[in-house]
Amino acid sequence: MAIFKCESCGATKEGRCKPKSCPKCGESGNMKKVESCGCGAVSKCK
C-alpha cells in the first residue's frame, strides 16, 4: 500500500492506486505519492 497526499489541502489517503481526486477537498490531479516507513506513518519513524 502507498500513501498519497493532496498538494492543495494536505489530506492523506492510503491505497494501491493513485486517487483521481482528493477525498477531502475534491481537487483532481493533486494527489502525490509520499514516502512511508512501512508502519503507516506519513513521515519517517525515528
Burial 12-40 (b: 16+ CB within 10 A, else e): eeeeeeeeeebeeeeeeebbeeeebeeee
Q: What is the pLDDT of residue 35?
A: 74
Q: Give residue 14's domain range.
A: 2-34
Q: What is the pLDDT of residue 41?
A: 61
The SS3 of residue 39 is coil
Residue 43, phi-psi category: left (phi > 0), alpha (psi -120 to 50), beta (remainder): beta
CA–CA distance, 6 with 32 (Å, rounded to integer): 6
Q: Is residue 40 part of a domain?
A: no
Q: What is the pLDDT of residue 46?
A: 43
Low-confidence ranges of the chain (pLDDT < 50): 46
Q: Is residue 23 part of a domain?
A: yes
Q: Is residue 18 part of a domain?
A: yes
Instruction: Report the domain count for the chain.
Output: 1
Q: What is the pLDDT of residue 33?
A: 94
**Quick one: DSSP state of residue 45?**
P
Q: Is residue 16 part of a domain?
A: yes
pTM value surpassing 0.75: no
